[in-house]
Amino acid sequence: MFEDFLNNDAVPYDRKEREQIVDYILNSLQNGGSASVPTVPKTPADVQLSALREILNDETLLKECADDRDLRGNIQQELLNYLSLRTVNPKFFEDEAKYVQGFRSLTSETFEKSWGKYKKIIQERYGSDQIDTGFYEKELKVQFEATKEHLAERWECLLAEKQLAEELKLIEELRKKFAYELYKKLKEYLELKTLLSPFLGHLGRFWDLTYSKLSKQSAENIKKYAELLKNSKNLQSLADELGKSRQAEKELEYENYRETIYDTVWRSSNSAKSEISGVTIGNNLNAVLPSEIALLSFPETEMIFCKKFAENKLQIFEYRTQVREEYEAMRTKEKENPKGPYIICVDTSGSMHGAPENIAKAIALMVLKLSVSEKRLAYLITFSTAVKTFELSNLQQSLPDLINFLTQSFHGGTDFYPALNAALEMALTDEYQLADILLISDFVVPELNENLQKKISEIKDNENRIISIAITNENSAAIDNNFDIAYVFNPNSMDIYKKTLLELKGGSL
């Protein structure tokens, strides 16, 4: 983040000083201003560092940065950008410096011809109390080289003082301007954070959002939805369910694995002699009992031995030993389905006006909060007689659209089909695979046509879910059994109940 500053040779610090400055800013913002100021020579750069220290003395700035990592990074970058600003254009005093060098190059032969020009330049820029041209003119005629060197050094000294004074003036102007803009932006940010934090948590990465985009009415509306969400246990419960529903859907998958067993189990084994455990029958000549071998001593009994060997009926010692075996086994492993994006369809028709409208907006913001905290994409579709769509994942760009949605009044008729069709089409895109489609309405709508039912079937084959949230006073609200989960939210009692796909189709849990 800070490489541009560290590698910028145009700033008035060497590499080591730049590294010290970066550490100083970071430590100040993290530790509430307790870091020590890096030391540099007494130059305009030092004055600029003093200005930086003054800026970092703001208690609100330090407190907020200490608690908010994202904000701290943004403030640090702002401060480094400020330190990278040029205070004075190097060419501003370039012409006068050339005059000084030109004067130094004068000889006693060229003095009479050129002195008038340099005398005029000096008198235009400096008073007689600074450079007494009359005095120097007389002395130049007596002791030319020594007087010329003295005048040149005096001129260079005054030029350096003038340049330093100009730099200090500009540094102070830049400090005042930068501090004003930084504190103003911080104030707007904190006001925006106060309004949106109930929904979005930390807004450090939204540093560039400005409170000025919000009207007073917008701010009051956001506060109202925040209070509604805060005070309604059922809305909070709904938020928790939506956030955890994917976590509850886990699959069991089987996998093969090899495992070496190191167990002290005694097994019978004639190939690895360890300890005699008894007598058995077989044809292992290495384990044959002596009494069986004796049959080979006489021609009359030799055939009996051969017969027993062929029939695997010789008496042999039985051994047991400890063995280690490898074998393949099957085991089950839980596999959690990935969380997909949200596609939120909100009915903004006139029948939703009043309490249903407030609840719908609070739910939409609640889902947006989930999408931000879980880093899931979010897409908002509003519908009445027309369909409007907003990409909500990038709040820097979508904040005006979001505010417009929060402040608009619901009116007009209900054209449900185009909105649902737009949501289904979006769910087929690469970015919104596995999306949860949330339909928020009073569901005063006709039954789904055959074309939409076919599309819903295709979507479900892709493991998308369709969740309806009916905001209505009617307990017998018409809920289509094409939905995976259906919630009914009573805007008067604020009660909520839920049905799953199995219940909607008449099954039992």
- What are the residue ranges spanned by the domains of the chain? 230-248+338-504, 264-323
> If 0-12 CB within 10 Å is exposed, 13-18 middle and 19+ buried, where does residue 67 land?
exposed
What was the pLDDT predicted at 349? Answer: 87
Whole-Å CA distances, 213 to 15, 89, 101, 381, 397: 40, 36, 55, 22, 12
Q: CA nearest 342: which of 304, 300, 392, 293?
A: 392
pLDDT recorded at residue 13: 64
Conformational region of residue 494, where left means phi above 0, alpha means psi within -120 to 50, and beta covers everything else:
left
Please list the residues that pair with 439 across neighbouring strands: 345, 468
Q: What is the pLDDT along the chain (509 residues), one digit of tens a residue?
A: 556 766 666 666 667 766 777 776 777 776 665 555 555 445 666 777 777 888 888 888 888 888 888 788 888 888 888 877 765 555 668 888 899 999 999 998 898 899 999 999 999 989 988 899 999 888 888 889 989 999 999 999 888 888 888 877 887 888 888 888 888 888 877 777 776 665 555 454 566 655 555 555 666 666 777 677 777 777 777 766 765 555 544 444 444 444 444 445 555 555 555 677 788 888 888 888 888 888 888 888 888 889 888 899 888 888 776 555 555 555 555 555 567 788 999 988 888 888 888 888 888 878 877 777 777 888 899 888 788 888 876 666 777 777 778 777 787 787 788 888 888 888 888 888 888 888 898 887 777 778 888 888 888 777 788 888 888 876 544 455 678 888 888 888 878 777 765 554 554 33
Q: Which pLDDT value is given to residue 391?
A: 81
CATH superfamily of 230-248+338-504: von Willebrand factor, type A domain (3.40.50.410)
Longest Cα pair distance anywhere in the chain, in angstroms?
154
Name residues whose C-beta falls within 8 Å of residue 99's C-beta, 6 or more positions apart in sequence: 118, 121
One-letter amino acid of 454: K
User: What pLDDT, on a 0 to 100 scale, did the predictor assign at position 480?
Assistant: 58
Query: What's the pLDDT at 202?
Result: 46
